[in-house]
Amino acid sequence: MPGTRVGLLCKLITWIKTDARKIFWLAGMAGTGKTSVALTLCQMLDSDADVLLGGSFFCSRTANVEARTDVRRVIPTLAALLARQSPKFAVELAAELRPNSGVAGHQPVGEQIGPLLQRPLTALASEARPIVFVIDALDECSNERELAELLTAISTFTCDANVKFILTSRPETHILGSPISDRDQNEILQLHTIETAEVTEDIRLYLDDAFSKKPLAKPWYTSADVARLAKLADGLFIFASTMISYVLDSESITGRTTRLQTALAAVTGSAVAMGPLDAMYELVITRASNAAKVEPTELEMTRRTLACILVVRSPPSVAALADLLDLETDDLRESLRRLQATVHVPIEDDEPGLRMLHASFGDYLIDRAAISIRLTKSVGDDLLARGCLRVMRKRLHFNISQSRSSYEQNSGTKPDSIVLSLEYASLRWVDHITGLPDPLVLVPDVSSTFRPRFMFWLEVMSILGQMRRAAAILIIATDIVRHIFSRWSE
């Protein structure tokens, strides 16, 4: 069972057989293997005597088949597939359809589930096995309003039979705002939160299996090659599958060897490897920047946010980045919601971890994106440098450690006054300043920040246990702080 994320599949099957909840939402950015998991799960369930696979629907925009993106086809398809397997269900379904033969095609999406699934499933109330429906790639559906109706209908679905829904999608805004995102009611797993080592091993198995199924007269790859390529994939199954297609396109030893070595040398900048990902990234950015739906100020916020996440030195919290950008936390979170297919956004505002899901997205924004959305690192460094200095001017104050005496050693406990934005600013201000083409342009800001607050900053660094770093910061910034010291001596 190569490349199918065995541990995840076992978890899914265990959930189907033991958990009382009816919805399992598998979320993840484009290319993380959601469809592969869904396909393999269906294959496993189809041969599992303890489970009845009622039906599956694989949405797909790239299939160029309108029905694969039509939300109105989902419930009718699942009902038809279950009717083929269960005569009891088929009889009840036919009875529901007789009074209104056009129910499947003409009723609103939210009203389909009653006559096509809910009421006919009463015939299977005595069925001991869980009945499972798999719907893959919900984000590929073309009509967001109808998709919202479908998700609401599934979330409120009740019947006497033991029914389970396995749903997969990217964490798009309109899906995140639906009832399936309720963690109290549903099981939710984000693929990008799984340990990197586990995913890399899955991709290695996937690559090794694909290569071994296309043997040649002589060996043309080594286990070390596969391991290196798996690491290069950096958690993206779509990257690996693209490489497989690229390498195996040649039927000669020389051709495959050449292609494999080209892939291994590609790191993150290969046009061959990044083409499919670029198309997905362009789709995400286009949606986030749709001028028909988003105000110009929101577009600018999205651009500024991405520029900062691109160069941030350690993943901040949503609240910390909002403070650094002088924004309201709710406004920033709303901006980030449009980017969650490519950016990991922590659930809690004060939880660190805000970051791009894959380094190739940053490379795309810098090197390959359309001119209108292309970014430079200096934009992010400028925003964060100014933000760090502004936060320190606002938050640094006398006795910030709340010590009772200057003779007592720091307790080692960080006081509430040192919030994450101040911690980041104190530790990283010089990194962003030295990342600017002309760092000296911020000398006035540095002076106004540190001239009255230098000792307060040192106090914060002491509380954080970063006095060595404080010394290093001052050495790195010598060309900047010497201007400050010269002004102090005036």
d(CA 318, CA 321): 5
> What pLDDT digit, counting tens, does each position of 60-73 carry?
876 656 788 899 99
Give this prediction's pTM. Answer: 0.66
pLDDT at residue 268 in the model: 45
d(CA 225, CA 155): 45
d(CA 324, CA 385): 9
d(CA 317, CA 347): 10
What is the token pair recorded at 354?
A: 């805000």
> Does the pLDDT at position 490 exceed 70?
no
CATH architecture under which domain 6-193 falls: 3-Layer(aba) Sandwich (3.40)
What is the token pair recorded at 258?
A: 């050449």
DSSP string, 292-335: TTS-HHHHHHHHHHHHHHHH-SS---HHHHHHHTT--HHHHHHH
Of the candidates 153, 73, 71, the residue with the CA atom closest to the CA atom of residue 110: 153
Confidence of residue 53 (pLDDT cuts 50, 70, 90): very high
> What pLDDT digit, counting tens, does each position of 309-356 carry?
999 988 899 999 999 999 999 989 988 887 877 888 888 999 998 988
> What pLDDT digit, counting tens, does each position of 212-250 carry?
988 888 889 999 999 988 887 777 787 787 778 778 888
> What backbone torsions phi and psi does residue 198 show, to the nearest 5 degrees?
-65, -45
> What pLDDT digit, counting tens, does each position of 129-168 carry?
999 999 999 998 989 999 999 999 999 999 999 999 999 9
Q: What is 276-375's CATH number?
A: 1.10.10
Burial of 459 (0-12, 13-18, 19+ CB in 10 A): buried
Cβ 91 vs Cβ 126: under 8 Å: no
Half-sphere exposure of 479 (CA within 13 A, CB side): 9
pLDDT at residue 406 in the model: 63
The mean pLDDT of 252-274, rounded to a whole number, is: 69
Mean pLDDT for all residues in the chain: 85
